[in-house]
Amino acid sequence: MANIETSDLETHLLECYLFVDDYLQSNPKVAAWRRSNNDDPDFTDAEVIVIALMQGYFRTDTLKRTYQLAIANTEGAFPDRAGYKQWIRRLKQLPDQVGRLVRAAALRGLAGEGRKLYAADSLPIPLCEPARHGRVRLLAEDGAKFGVTASGRWFYGFKIHALIHQPTQMVITAMLLPGNRSDQVAAPALARSTSGGVLLADEGYRGSDLFDWLYDQAQTLRVMPSDDPSEGHSAVSRARQQAESSFSGLWRRFSNRVHARSWHGLWTSLLLKILHFNLEQAGLVSQSANSTRD
């Protein structure tokens, strides 16, 4: 990446650090994941996570490249930093903490927002190009499967399922499932994060059993766009389209730039990207210059 604006990078770095460190300091039980009560490294978990968050700033393909750029362009910011191998090993132990930060950023973005209008959606996370489908085995033991996209194309990997707050476009929660799992499998788990409300759904969420479960167990009303072309472009259809546009935009920026050889590495990378997205959506960090080019 050329022509990095140092002041812009430092501001972005500081904003990310303030949010992450404040949350971990305010929630000591989340931060106290180590087995040893005396294990208090100088290179903190907040610093480990913040360096990884810079992947959203740099728009790099790998976390290794992110680490290199962050260290090269932030002289003195991490005086006690670990080497890359120790850093990535530490990072892969923090998916729970990153997941909680995703939720915390979403809640900050929803402050004062009373509308309970959500959209659930999914997109494939392919682990290889179609040309390798005949011999691929990557993460097969962790659940990677062949699935079909909405356009009918086969892929090998996982699907990420997300619940999006429609007015703000914040990602409330997300989950990673094998590529062959249907949207209906993920819907109940996603709906538990709504605290009631209206769920804008598409074809993948049809079915009276799912409708009844959502209504009875999650106090959530599923609403489908109309199939009648005479009704024109309904408000539900427009709202769904807006949510899908936000979701697709997020993954156009990130999903084809995830390189991981373990499930934990893949999931941590995806969570970090969602966290960075939420931080920008909530106005907790400034939009980087790269965001305008997505």
Domain residue ranges of the chain, discontinuous segments joined by +: 114-259
| Cα torsion 167, 105, 143, 254: sign | positive
Most confident of 8-22, 69-83, 153-167, 173-187: 8-22
Which residues are within 8 A (CB) of 211 and not within 5 positions of it... i.e. 6 or more apart? 222
Greater pLDDT, 234 or 170: 170
**Cβ atoms within 10 Å of 51's Cβ, excluding its own:** 26
Residue 231 predicted with pLDDT over 60:
no
- Which range is least confidently modeled, 18-22, 24-28, 189-193? 189-193
Backbone angles phi, psi at 8, to 5 degrees: -65, -45
Greater pLDDT, 18 or 217: 18
Q: Give the whole-angstrom CA distance, residue 279 versus residue 272.
A: 10
Residue 35 predicted with pLDDT over 60:
no
Band of residue 18 on the pLDDT scale cut at 50, 70, 90: very high
**pLDDT value, residue 288:** 63
Average pLDDT on 271-275 reads: 90
Average pLDDT, rounded, for the chain: 79
Residue 187 predicted with pLDDT over 60:
yes
Residue-by-residue DSSP string for 48-104: HHHHHHHHHHHT-SSHHHHHHHHHHHSTTT-TTPPPHHHHHHHHTT-HHHHHHHHHH
CATH fold of 114-259 reads Nucleotidyltransferase; domain 5 (3.30.420)
Vertex 156 angle, CA 154 and 160, to 5°: 100
Strand, coil or helix: 110:
coil
Strand, coil or helix: 197:
strand
Cα distances (Å, whole numbers) of residue 136 to 129, 143, 147, 157, 289: 9, 13, 14, 10, 37
The pairing of strands 170-178 and 197-200 is: unpaired
Q: Give the whole-angstrom CA distance, residue 172 versus residue 278.
A: 9
**pLDDT value, residue 1:** 40
**pLDDT value, residue 233:** 46
**pLDDT value, residue 3:** 46
Q: Is the pTM of this model over 0.75?
A: yes
Whole-number CA gyration radius for the chain: 20
Band of residue 50 on the pLDDT scale cut at 50, 70, 90: very high
- Which range is least confidently modeled, 26-30, 145-149, 214-218? 214-218
**Cβ atoms within 10 Å of 282's Cβ, excluding its own:** 19
Backbone angles phi, psi at 118, to 5 degrees: -130, 160
Most confident of 50-59, 188-197, 212-221, 248-257: 50-59
The pairing of strands 170-178 and 117-126 is: unpaired
220 and 197 in contact (C-beta within 8 Å)? yes
The DSSP secondary-structure symbol of 283 reads: T
**pLDDT value, residue 88:** 92
**pLDDT value, residue 70:** 92
Rounded percentage of the chain residues whose pLDDT exceeds 90: 20
Residue-by-residue DSSP string for 214-278: HHHHS-EEEE-----GGG-S-HHHHHHHHHHHHHHHHHHHHGGG---SSHHHHHHHHHHHHHHHH
**pLDDT value, residue 246:** 62
